[in-house]
Amino acid sequence: SSGINAEWPLRPGADSIFKCQAKFANNEMTSESSVTLNVFTIAQTPAKNIIAVGETATLTCTVSGNTGTVAFSWSKDGSSIDGTESQLEVKPSDVNDKAGQYTCSVTVTNGEVTSKSFSPDTGSAIDVFDVAITPEKLGAEVGKESTLTCTITKSSDSATVKYKWSKKNAASTFDDISEETQAEYKFTPTDISLAGTYICEGEVSEGGVSSTYHSSGESTVQVFGIDEATSTASAIIKTGDGITLSCVLNVGSKSQVAEVKWFKGNTDGAAIFTDEATVFADDKLTTTYKKEKSTDCDSALIPLL
């Protein structure tokens, strides 16, 4: 009448039927009961993923075995989040938006029996990064060094980064600039051929896992140079005479130059003339400054884009 309890801890590897048999001391009566164990396993993939802002990572929770009906839930860094399917899509809007540790949990119902909630031994870590190129527009002068800068922001301080620079070609696809693998791309144009659209792609790696190369934004480089052979280098006139000065620029297109300003002495003061009606032909942009009559010593006029 007092009852006897017997427990047998086990960790089965497959579905099993277990029987418990009790035999009383007088050997005149035995009692037997059985229990069916449905066994299932849980796996979550991938263990780690590194994605860029705007990309989507898909996490998958797989349940195998004689499962019956499975219910899923998800958590991030220990806190419940939305998600009731076997797959969870994660799409960050900034570097710190979705980075963290994700874990799925499952309960299994078979007949009238529902299991407690189980989670896999390991979840999924997601790291996020973003790539920016500056400046968005750059005016580069022939013979002078210019710099484009690629900045990679990442959620994990210990992750390593790689850079890849490319330039858009005539077919509107991008050719790698193979020798450039640094955060800064420095170049000194010798002519206007380096004008065009540039991108920087970044790859982030950690723990044996690497992202795909990702770019965000473009930089438009406009290259110009003064054609010294046809520009006015200097002129000497006497008071009362007029003069026309010309500056010829080698540029890829007229649209590269919004306006040209002329300065007297240096460019620290206000412009004395702005030329918006420049003439473009054969990759050359000609701007002129005309003074009908000189009343004093006008000197050192400097054209400036």
Model confidence pLDDT, tens digit, residues 200-234: 999 999 999 999 999 988 999 988 887 777 777 77
What is the band of 102 on the pLDDT scale with cuts at 50, 70, 90?
very high
For the segment 25-75, what is each residue's pLDDT rounded down to a tens digit? Answer: 666 556 666 666 777 889 999 999 999 999 999 999 999 886 688 999 999
- The dihedral over CA atoms of 224, 229, 233, 239, expressed in degrees to the nearest 10, equals -130
pLDDT above 50: residue 300: no
User: In what helix (H) or strand (E) does residue 13 lie, and over which residues does it extend?
Assistant: none
For the segment 29-38, what is each residue's pLDDT rounded down to a tens digit? Answer: 566 666 667 7
Q: Which residues of 268-298 are buried (b: 16+ CB within 10 A; e: fewer)?
A: eeebebebeebeeeeeebbbbbebeeeeeeb
CA dist list (Å): 131 to 173, 198, 248, 284: 19, 13, 38, 35
pLDDT above 60: residue 5: no
**Residues in CB range of 226: below 8 A, 6 or more apart:** 247, 248, 249, 250, 303
The residue whose two tokens read 């960050």 is: 92
